[in-house]
Amino acid sequence: MTTSISNPPEDQIRAKALALGFDLCRFTDIDEGWISAKRLAEFVNSGRHGEMAWLAETVERRSNPRAMWPDARSAIVLGMNYGPDHDPLALLARPTKGAISVYAQGDDYHELIKSRLKTLARWLQSQFGGELKVFVDTAPLLEKPLAERAGLGWQGKHTNLVSREFGSWLFLGSILTTLDLNPDPGETTTCGTCHACLDVCPTQAFPAPNQLDARRCISYLTIELKGPIPTEFREALGNRIYGCDDCLAVCPWNKFAAVAAEQKLHARPSLEAPSLAELARLNDAQFRSLFTKSPIKRIGRARFIRNVLYAIGNSGEPTLAVEAEQLLNDASELVRGAAVWALSRLLEPGHFKALREAHRSLEQDQQVLAEWCAYA
Ligand code: SF4
């Protein structure tokens, strides 16, 4: 270490992290083997990761932080509260609006947290030396078990982190370092007999407590899945067009949650309750413009409009059929297929049949043709 100091390094690092806007900063060693490595292997071996091939490809490196970086000695785990100022479930009762997961209603947290982590890392190195690497949800590092080990919270029965101080709403970031830092006590699971998160899941994505089948999870289906969402899940999507907060929002530990202090994590007014009709009309340039600096931009217009169309199909609002009808000739087969499904739900059978006769002979894509035929 390069400086003579009176306070322990951990106290100084924590003070600096809080000054940078983090809400929690705790430390852990990374010596022991992890039960989470076994859980991840089981998750991947059972195919529950779906199309997320990157998870299967990095199982070995995710087994322990040292598997990724053998020189690492300690982890600094940071949390930033993104607690909403509204009930995230309230919008589900307004079917002509699109429900976007709380984490995606503000600016992209990856960029925000990464820049703060880098500032902290530069300061850390100037004060204490050592080598380090920073992580925000993108590298093969199991951040939730690391956070549990450092005492930021515990992995609830829905597998997400629950914090005594902030409930369900914590973004995580980590710094691995070659420094030996004093570990904080870990957190223990405090779910008790509660199973509210398992019961509320609209698609029954939890085969058992602490197990997630991502292939059934609305977050996976609306964000990660590239093709059409399987028909069996479409109705359960309701008006959720990007992610799902149900299991997070019902957790009783949210009674301790606070509204995010960081303004950039607050919902943009345009994304709090966007009109499905207006979203359905976005062209590619408008999509990119609306979602500048938003994590939603990553999935691209076609996947997003697919989700909007499923929500339109679930709206029960016949006046929205015109929005779906205008997308029957869209350049994306993903969009065309979802438009067919939406129309099959909103139009009178005779009207749907007439549209099918008009479009079927022009359609080249087999999946879209299958959609037309499925709802004859
Ligand atoms: S809802 Fe209940 S079971 Fe689920 S994480 Fe919260 S306390 Fe645990």
Predicted confidence pLDDT, tens digits, the chain (376 residues): 444 456 889 999 999 999 999 999 999 998 765 666 677 777 777 887 787 776 677 766 666 777 778 899 999 999 999 999 999 999 999 999 999 999 999 999 989 999 999 999 999 999 999 999 998 876 656 788 899 999 999 999 999 999 999 999 999 999 999 999 999 999 988 899 999 999 999 999 999 999 999 999 999 999 999 999 999 999 999 999 999 999 999 999 999 899 999 999 999 999 999 999 999 999 999 999 999 999 999 999 999 999 999 999 999 999 999 999 999 999 999 999 999 999 999 999 999 999 999 998 889 999 999 999 998 6
Residue nearest (by alpha carbon) to ligand 1 atom 7: 191
CA–CA separation, 227 vs 264, rounded Å? 31
Q: In Å, how far are 123, 130, 132, 134 from 69, measured between CA atoms?
A: 21, 14, 10, 12
- Percentages (nearest 5) of helix, strand, coil residues in the chain: 50, 10, 40
CA–CA separation, 219 vs 257, rounded Å? 22
Residue nearest (by alpha carbon) to ligand 1 atom 8: 191
Strand runs (DSSP E) across the chain, as ranges? 24-29, 74-81, 99-100, 132-135, 154-155, 161-162, 170-177, 240-242
SS3 95: coil
- Looking at the DSSP assignment, which residues form a beta bridge with residue 97? 275
- The predicted pLDDT at position 66 comes to 75
Cβ-based burial of 4 (10 A; exposed 0-12, middle 13-18, buried ≥19):
exposed
Q: From the CA of 234, how far away is ligand 1's center (Å)?
A: 26
Q: Quick one: DSSP state of residue 244?
A: -
SS3 175: strand
CA–CA separation, 38 vs 145, rounded Å? 12
Q: From the CA of 315, how far away is ligand 1's center (Å)?
A: 30
Task: Tell which atom from ligand 1 comes closest to the C-alpha of 195.
Answer: 3
Q: Look at phi and psi of residue 243 and say left if phi exceeds 0, alpha if psi is from -120 to 50, else beta.
A: left
Q: Which residues are designated catalytic?
A: 137
For β-strands 74-81 and 170-177, DSSP reports them as antiparallel
- The predicted pLDDT at position 67 comes to 77
Evaluate: CB of 158 within 6 angstroms of ligand 1: yes
Contact 279, 241 (CB under 8 A): yes
CA–CA separation, 308 vs 127, rounded Å? 50
Q: From the CA of 161, how far away is ligand 1's center (Å)?
A: 10
Distance in Å from the first CA to the final CA of the chain: 73
For ligand 1, mutation pick of 162, 206, 211, 256 (most atoms within 8 Å of CB) = 162
Task: Tell which atom from ligand 1 comes closest to the C-alpha of 250.
Answer: 1
Evaluate: CB of 196 within 6 angstroms of ligand 1: yes
Identity at 57, one-letter amino acid code: E
- Token look-up 């028909």 returns 231
SS3 180: coil
Evaluate: CB of 157 within 6 angstroms of ligand 1: yes
Evaluate: CB of 195 within 6 angstroms of ligand 1: yes
- The predicted pLDDT at position 140 comes to 59
Evaluate: CB of 114 within 6 angstroms of ligand 1: no
Contact 22, 170 (CB under 8 A): no
Q: Is the pTM of this model over 0.75?
A: yes
Q: From the CA of 324, how far away is ligand 1's center (Å)?
A: 38
Q: From the CA of 66, how far away is ligand 1's center (Å)?
A: 30
